Chains A and B, each alone.
Chain A
Amino acid sequence: MQAKAGSSNHTMIYGLLVVLAIVTVALPFLHLDKIAHNVALFSVAAFMAALVGLQYMNLKMEGPLVLWLVGIPFVLFAVLVVILIPEFVWHHTILTPSTAPPTGH
């Protein structure tokens, strides 16, 4: 009984992941604009990752210790990217070589 339930659950998740993988490959053929395309792409990837993490890696059954252990690097990554992207873009688009402050010499 348990074996059948676990096995059919894995099969269902696998089927869903395959469908989402096909959707990912189909996205470029929809010719969306850049932002919509990238948002759709990463939304599908995040959903697939959540399925793998929660169902296959059993994260939904893990206690707070494991959730903290795995969650902290994700949060730090998000903070790093969110803080650095505006800074990075600003330096490379606003501070062009002609307007950048002199570095001396």
Chain B
Amino acid sequence: MSHSEEVYYSGPVGLTPGRLGLWALIASEIVLFAGLLGSYLLLKTVRPDWVTQAAHLNIWAGALNSLILLSSNFFMMKASTAAEESRNEDTKRFLALTILLGLAFLGVKAFEYSAEFHHGFFPSTSSFWSFYFLLTGVHGLHIIGGLVAISLLLFKALSNTLEPMKGRVFLTGLYWSFVELVWIFLFPLLYLMK
């Protein structure tokens, strides 16, 4: 590893069991989301009417959620760096911001769902809406799982017991980045693709 690479490397040096386990989890998540996204793509090639159904989605809410999740992950990365350098106050602040933005993402999604239900779009309405609610719902569950993990870390940081397990902030950041990565594909696929 060169000196310039060391400067930008914020994770643990060796392949720890925790990191290997998390990458195995992410690999299985890739299989899950790739299967769902692949099925959606295949069906979309033969269902041109899905474009008109997707036009009912609120692009601005989706775009806002993209910015919210990008910002949330940015603060998670800052929290990871702060935890690694034992800057406890910064870690607390960045973890709290990550959680707040994660909750904001879920709030915007709940607003979107309620508007869609109000207009009569349910998972049973058509195959497009089935896919939309399935994909965003599974992604939302991953957001909730991540928020639970980050909240536990914040609780540890607030009680000043995070130091022995600060590597877990990096691991949770890895998971949170994956959740963001999934949204990077979900947003254009569902809201913008022709």
Contacts and interface: CB of A to CB of B under 8 A. Distances in A.
Interface of A: 1-3, 5-7, 9-11, 14, 17-18, 21, 24-25, 27-28, 34, 37-38, 41-42, 44-45, 48-49, 52-53, 56-58, 61-63, 65-66, 69-70, 72-74, 76-77, 80-81, 84-85, 88-89, 92-93
Contacts of B67: 18, 21
Contact of A65 (B15, B31, B78): B15
Contact of A58 (B6, B9, B193): B9
B165 to A, nearest CB: 19
B26 interface: yes
Nearest to A60: B5
Interface stretch (B41-49, B112-120, B152-160): B41-49
Main SS at interface, chain A: helix
Residue from B178, B184, B192 whose CB has the most chain A CB atoms within 10 Å: B184
A81 B35 CA distance: 10
B185 A49 contact: yes
A88 B11 contact: no
Contacts of B9: 6, 58, 61
A41 B15 contact: no
Interface residues of B, number: 50
Contacts of B34: 73-74, 76-77, 80
B27 A73 contact: yes
Given A3-B81, A28-B192, A69-B27, A84 B42 contact: yes
Residue from A3, A28, A57 whose CB has the most chain B CB atoms within 10 Å: A57
A2 B7 contact: yes
Contacts of B19: 66
Given A10-B81, A52-B181, A61-B5, A24 B66 contact: yes
B20 A41 contact: no
A6 to B, nearest CB: 5
Nearest to A27: B192
Interface stretch (B69-77, B96-104, B125-133, B136-144): B69-77
Nearest first, the 10 A-B pairs at minimum CB distance are A77-B34, A92-B46, A73-B30, A14-B74, A56-B177, A5-B7, A25-B63, A34-B194, A41-B188, A10-B77
